[in-house]
Amino acid sequence: MAQLSTFTWGIFPYICLTVMIVGTIYRYHSDQLTWGSKSSELLEKKLLTSGSMLFHIGILFVLAGHIAGLLVPIEFYNAIGISSELYHGAAIALGGLSGLIALAGISILLYRRIAKARVRMNSDMSDYVSDGLLWLVIVLGLAFTLGYGLLNGPYEYRATVGPWIRSVLMFQPDIALMAGVPLLLQVHIALAFVLLGVSPFTRLIHMYSMPIGYLTRAPLLYRTSYGYGGSYGRATAARRPAIHQPRTQPQPEPVPVPAEEPATPDPARPFERALGESLDPVAGSGSRSRR
Ligand code: HEM
């Protein structure tokens, strides 16, 4: 049991984080053309719009809550006068609400991927792995926050999981901190690490390029972005001429060409003079300039 605990909380997180970092670097260098979350909007739009919107809004708040709860030490909250009751009340209300919104979103996306034939036919195993894992991790997190928290009272993870994750990030994993953590939360955390480990090999890769431009870009990159008001649309529109306008280049001013002066026959070169007259008997020596 001690060995399992050492592996799970002292070695496994590093395996997952290493695969995540090395996998991301590898994919960046080997497969940049597929970097991103390829759009399936043409295959089905209604469920995608609602599911994606709900999932992304919810998950951003969930992850912000994780940073506030796990990376900020409990001493900070005590120092600024936020009591344990206030903290956990807010965590259950805000964390629970964000988690429910994210769950609604990922459930819609997962349903769409399985139930809509056109989307299903264009999905591969990595899509099911990422969507399925996301769904599971979110369900377990919510089950803990809402189920466990409401049944047993708030669990002070800021004294166990929080210091443990910080010890992992400092490369000094304190495995003992995870010993008394409820199993539900342990499974949530272990699966979250699996999710991080597989992320470079799925469409989740797009989260590492900080896709803030996604918020304002045209939904499909290979469709014209005319008419989109966001920064992406404006930037690309500014680079292109308006539709149906001929691509006219500014023409340079015509340079006046000086009139040709008839070449003066060179009395010193009789052969050339004779040749010129034979080629152009009217103008005589004009042949020289025409050569
Ligand atoms: C190693 C990483 C992670 C750790 C240590 C961790 C830990 C925790 C803890 C301690 C809670 C309870 C919060 C509370 O009751 O106030 C929680 C809840 C939750 N977690 Fe995680 N988690 C991790 C990763 C993730 C990931 C990657 C996701 C989503 C994809 C996620 C989704 C959730 C959700 C939805 C909840 C419930 C709502 C909330 O508190 O925001 N977690 N997690």
CA distance 24 to 29: 9
Residue 210 to residues 22, 206, 213, 252, Cα–Cα distance (Å): 18, 7, 8, 45
CA-closest residue to ligand 1 atom 34:
141
| Tens-place pLDDT, residues 131-160 | 999 999 999 999 999 998 888 888 999 999
CA-closest residue to ligand 1 atom 27:
192
CA-closest residue to ligand 1 atom 5:
189
Residue type, 85: E
Ligand 1 pocket, 157 CB below 6 A?
yes
CB atoms within 10 A of CB 55: 23
- Chain-centroid distance, C-alpha 224: 20
Residue type, 7: F
Ligand 1 pocket, 188 CB below 6 A?
yes
pLDDT for 270 equals: 65
Which residue stretches of the chain are H helix? 2-6, 12-30, 46-66, 74-79, 84-90, 96-115, 117-121, 125-142, 149-152, 161-169, 183-198, 231-239, 270-279, 287-290
Q: Compare 127 and 264 and report the one with higher pLDDT.
A: 127
The mean-pLDDT minimum among 8-22, 239-253, 257-271 falls in 239-253
| Tens-place pLDDT, residues 165-205 | 999 999 999 999 999 999 999 999 999 999 999 999 999 98
Is there a contact between 192 and 161 (Cβ–Cβ < 8 Å)?
A: no
Among residues 138, 67, 129, which one has the least CA distance to residue 98? 138
In which band, very low, low, confident or very high, does the pLDDT at 275 lie, cut at 50, 70 and 90?
low
Ligand 1 pocket, 161 CB below 6 A?
yes
Is there a contact between 5 and 175 (Cβ–Cβ < 8 Å)?
A: yes
CA distance 92 to 71: 18
In which band, very low, low, confident or very high, does the pLDDT at 277 lie, cut at 50, 70 and 90?
low
Is there a contact between 59 and 135 (Cβ–Cβ < 8 Å)?
A: no
pLDDT for 39 equals: 76
| Test site for ligand 1: of 9, 62, 131, 152, most ligand atoms within 8 A of the Cβ | 62
| Test site for ligand 1: of 188, 189, 202, most ligand atoms within 8 A of the Cβ | 188
Give 170 Cα–ligand 1 centroid separation in angstroms.
20
Averaged pLDDT, 275-280: 63
Ligand 1 pocket, 87 CB below 6 A?
no
pTM to 2 decimal places: 0.75
Instruction: Pick from 111-120, 145-154, 215-224 the range whose average pLDDT is largest.
Output: 111-120
| Test site for ligand 1: of 59, 129, 145, most ligand atoms within 8 A of the Cβ | 145
- Chain-centroid distance, C-alpha 84: 36
pLDDT for 254 equals: 78
Among residues 15, 3, 1, 2, which one has the least CA distance to residue 190? 15
| Tens-place pLDDT, residues 6-60 | 999 999 999 999 999 999 999 888 877 776 667 777 888 899 999 999 999 999 9
Averaged pLDDT, 265-274: 63
CA-closest residue to ligand 1 atom 25:
192
Ligand 1 pocket, 186 CB below 6 A?
no
CB atoms within 10 A of CB 291: 7
- Chain-centroid distance, C-alpha 109: 18
Helix axes 46-66, 125-142, angle to 10 degrees: 50
Ligand 1 pocket, 144 CB below 6 A?
yes
Averaged pLDDT, 249-263: 71
Ligand 1 pocket, 195 CB below 6 A?
yes
Ligand 1 pocket, 192 CB below 6 A?
yes
> Please, which residues have CB within 8 angstroms of residue 167's CB and are 6 or more apart in sequence?
173, 174, 177
Give 153 Cα–ligand 1 centroid separation in angstroms.
17
